[in-house]
Structure 1
């Protein structure tokens, strides 16, 4: 459309046969030629740029054609109306009977005026707000800029500064995703920049614990499938369905990463996003004692976070065990025979007493099984009930944490830690002296 145009002539077209755009344009020029005299000849008006090109959109169905015609005009109102009326004199388009009817003459300037008014309202409401930043806002903006400046590259790919030396990495789709994670303090992400996974990323996944954090769409699923074929994926997280990682706020990012799912638990075929969503439902279910750690997290809830049980006297002089939360509120009274030990109690009995045993605890920190420490590998591999915590009177080895990760164990406590080549990020490893007073 010519920028100098004042009006737009809109008309509808119908023809008893199949016609094309060129047929309509030819009919307009041919049947209006000489109709209005030299001053309003359509060809001359186009050559002098007083009338724009004829824009035709037409389609055919069941042997009939129908569509719309638009002509831009910089003539005055009267001449534009005359030109528009002349279009309705057309009776044929190509070999077919046709009817053209002017539906509207649009004043472009009025439309621009409305746009100016609406835009002025927006500017008035947004551009004159109080822009004085508080000290907190200044601090947050400076911290965010520092995080964004921390973005580096790994063999030419956008990456956080910890990718080169971190035991665990997060594979995302693009640079914007890396920036989003940096904004929230997560510095071990690397981007694949498309569905064609680079060889450098594929090789990196063989050496690290890998979590994929991808958009909740078909593209994210395709990247996961290719990466699983060329590399080694340990855990999977998706943004909510239909959303991108770069658009998530801090809470949504942390929740997605904490609710990651072991890749080995996913089916080989079918909708992987749906499978991940189903697996995550169990993580959000009531009774799920502890969330998996974020990639750089190597912490475990302190003993004071656990529920404590103490003996109290009832009104009739009887003894009961009252379970209390960290804030001191009573939750449930049970008989002394059903008293539940704290995590510290279990660690003390297994490790401090040099028991030579391994103990498996369920999600209520109740004893699930107890075996000789040398039998822990076989027991953990074949137990029907997956424990929440494993305590061993010995060294926490690479083999033990690998089996724990495969079975879904979240905490392992031992007398000491071994050397880890690749420590799963879903398992929190602690030594007894870190928990005992």
Structure 2
């Protein structure tokens, strides 16, 4: 019979969200355990945003040189994929051990294995030895995994984790999808020298972003030689003597060294046998209320697996997990979210926060569309395109922004702070920023 361990709080999923909640609960004097079945540290540092940005660093360096060639820079820069992947691996391979050492240093229990509920407060963990864990309260931060394709030859495709560990960049690569991951991987692969074929089921990329900005991004991807097929599906993937082939819905076949599926993500809630704990879920994740409580009042869900209206990104995950921990510790107010910035790490980057420009234009907000290409910040680096739209309310307070430029991931943070602070022109103008920088440009957006 499996041993039963007892804790005040147990957390399933040791990514950024689970780790944040565990630290807060432990700091409050509760006994806590983290349960993880794959890589300690979770998706983001092991096979998500962090390794992606390591690869992107080489792309950015190459583009900086390309932009300034003929304006003070000579020569050609190529990405050495093998060396770049080695750099990425040195970072990611250390993450699981570092995570466990952090847990040990903070006195947080940890169990490795796959967990599922056997009743309303107990799971069984299948690891080297089966163990039962009973807890007064639970936080589920199990995240998501790449969605599968249901087509002949789907087994020949690779997912996002496998792309981020490619030993070699092939000459031709097919990427299926039109969202964040597909665009980001297309940008990286093209810069690394691959001929990229991006196959998009719908009529546009990144449907949640301002259409004008997406059109500009399309032009930049096209300039980089990326071939994009809209309203098209891959109907079959086959193994060939030279690699693989992807058959498109209009009949053409594309040879490729790698076929990447980037068709979305699905929650890992289906692995937990939630029905045994009285927890309701659906295809969107685990259903939660305004306190992130599930239908079982002692079980909470946070991060990518929680069925909320917020973006499924790392920052939201650990914000929600810390909030769930606070409710367990006695906080009694519903969750309130600050402005949530999102970024597509393409080339260039596309970022947005607050009131969407499409909604603003239809609902009486003031929207300023600003071409920044000739601003000093972007002229000095030779960027071919830099653009922003800012949304102002009736009091001329900043409530939304969309940015397209190489600095978009940094600039969007300044806009996020302004939205959270309810800043208008006067507040921005009266601050002193280092000059000349993207921050010192802020007053010119009003």
TM class by smaller structure: under 0.3
Structure number with the bigger relative contact order (C-alpha 8 A, sep ≥ 6) is 2
Superposition TM-score, scaled by structure 1 size = 0.21
State TM-score, norm by structure 2: 0.21
Task: Please say which structure displays the higher CA radius of gyration.
Answer: 1
